[in-house]
Amino acid sequence: MADDMTGAESGGASERESGGGAPVPEALDEAECLRLISPGGIGRLAYLGRYGPTILPVNYRLHEGTIVFRTAHDSPTDEDLRTGIADADYKVAFEIDELRPETREAWSVLIQGSVRHVESEDERASVRESGVEPWAGGARELYLRIQPTRITGRRIGGKPPAAADR
């Protein structure tokens, strides 16, 4: 059976290269995934929106074990992700990656979990500490937070990059 993360057959030893010299994907543990995404940056938020599957780039920060990003009140993202039910969460996926085509090296991290609007003043004060700033202009004062339920990742080619290389 193919492994969900690597596409390789389950039960075999992990290899850095296949017989043809092409890099073989290597599964990353949760700690390495969190290390790779800890600086923040741009990730892709995926969810089922009112017009179908939706994937949007957002600037994010990792804060207290959650992914935090901002949007505008009454924006399509706000409306699509607001359930209207108190304390109800919306299931999403969040993907972050780094590609180095010149060296055929890459990594990606996939987070699955629930997103919810940050509503209380205490929680807003906490997520403001994350320092997340949206790239898009306009008033984007609404904070959203993804609580991960599953974190997976993979690396293709090369050695693990040092934190300073990011």
The Cα 89–Cα 24 span in angstroms is 36
Helix or strand run (H / E) with residue 98: strand 90-100
For the chain, the distance separating the N- and C-terminal CA atoms, rounded to the nearest angstrom, is 34
The Cα 37–Cα 95 span in angstroms is 10
pLDDT band at 73 (very low <50, low <70, confident <90, very high): confident
pLDDT band at 19 (very low <50, low <70, confident <90, very high): low
The Cα 61–Cα 149 span in angstroms is 17
With contact defined as beta carbons under 8 Å apart, do 16 and 26 qualify? yes
Query: pTM here?
Result: 0.79
pLDDT value of position 20: 60
**Length of the chain counted residue by residue:** 166
pLDDT value of position 48: 93
Give tens-digit pLDDT for 52-65.
999 999 999 999 99
pLDDT value of position 10: 39
Give tens-digit pLDDT for 135-154.
777 778 889 999 999 999 99
Residue 150 pairs with which residues in a beta bridge? 112
Count of Cβ atoms closer than 10 Å to residue 142 Cβ: 20
If you search the block for the tokens 């741009």, which residue do you land on?
A: 42
If you search the block for the tokens 């957002």, which residue do you land on?
A: 58
Domain boundaries, the chain: 26-158
CATH class of the domain defined by 26-158: mainly beta
Strands 52-63 and 26-28, sheet pairing: unpaired
With contact defined as beta carbons under 8 Å apart, do 39 and 166 qualify? yes
Share of the chain above pLDDT 90, in %: 48
- Widest pairwise Cα distance in the chain: 56
pLDDT band at 12 (very low <50, low <70, confident <90, very high): very low
**Helical H segments across 9-130, by residue range:** 30-37, 76-81, 121-128
Residue 61 pairs with which residues in a beta bridge? 68
pLDDT value of position 3: 41
If you search the block for the tokens 């990792």, which residue do you land on?
A: 62
